[in-house]
Structure 1
Amino acid sequence: MTLDEAIKHAQDVADTNCGQCAEDHKQLAEWLKELKELKEQGWHPASELPSLNKDGNWYHRHFDNAQDVCTFLNENGLMPGDFVLGKCSTGATYTILYYSDKYLY
């Protein structure tokens, strides 16, 4: 099953059912759409990151807003494949997990 087929299937189930099943599949379709957008932008799952291809370690930083994340990435030359971006469950901050030979300030 392709990602597009999975999105269509989840949306079809959401559209033809009611109750919790419909809500669950609607949420699943949204998550799959988000995954598709991230993949189209060049993001990779953590399992595909180059941890075995370079000397270095995983580090993490917290940021208050998306602009600070972009500035950090640009100033340090990090490219898709070198980092994973997440949003804290509180929605207040962004967390970036990156791979480098040193901690970046």
Structure 2
Amino acid sequence: MKNAWLGRVMVAVCAVLAGRAGAQSPLGSGFTYQGRLDSSGTPVDGAVPMTFRLWDDAIAGLQVGPTLVFDGVGSNPPPVNVSGGVFTVTLDFGDAAFGSEARWIEA
């Protein structure tokens, strides 16, 4: 009797956990990018308009995905906050931007 009750509890727990795993949303294509910005060797502070591009080669590459502009103009996100020269921004070049190939970010 005790084993039958324990078995039912285990089945119920497994069913709940399996349902939760299926309800998770898929990962997006955005990622966090952190960089350092200096001006004449001095760390920058403040809100700085920035533009980011993704390339398929470091020198003679083709642009992959859209140009991301952070300047607060129109529907663009606001300028990037820089503190002590360090900034963190979320970039999303789209689902097709990354596969198994190397990519280079221009900031």
| Bigger share in helix | 1
Q: Which has the larger radius of gyration?
A: 2
TM-score (norm 1): 0.28
Highest relative contact order (Cα 8 Å, sep 6+), 1 or 2? Answer: 2
